[in-house]
Structure 1
Amino acid sequence: MEQQGQGKASTRAKDKYNAANYDQVKLWVKKGDRERIDAAAKAVDMSRNAFILEAIEEKIKRENAKPL
Structure 2
Amino acid sequence: MNEKKSSTSTDVKRRYNEKVYAKITFSAPKDLVAEFKEVCNNNGISQAQVFKDAMQKIIDSK
Q: TM-score, normalization: structure 2? A: 0.65
Q: How many Å separate the matches in 2 of 1:30 and 1:55?
A: 19
Q: What residue number does 2:15 align with?
A: 16
Identity between Structure 1 and Structure 2 (%): 18
Q: What residue number does 2:28 align with?
A: 29
> Which has the larger helix fraction?
2
Q: What residue number does 2:4 align with?
A: none
TM-aligned CA deviation for residue 19 of structure 1? 0.7
1:41-56 matches, within 5 Å, as 41-56=40-55
- Code of the aligned partner of 1:15: R
The alignment's C-alpha RMSD in Å is: 2.3
5+ residue gaps in structure 1? 1-7
1:40 to 2:31 alignment: no
Deviates more, 1:15-24 or 1:29-38: 29-38
Q: How many Å separate the matches in 1 of 2:56 and 2:37?
A: 18
Q: How many Å separate the matches in 1 of 2:59 and 2:16?
A: 29
Instruction: Mark the CA change 1:61 to 1:19 in structure 2 (over 3 Å): closer, same or farther.
Output: closer
- Code of the aligned partner of 1:52: F
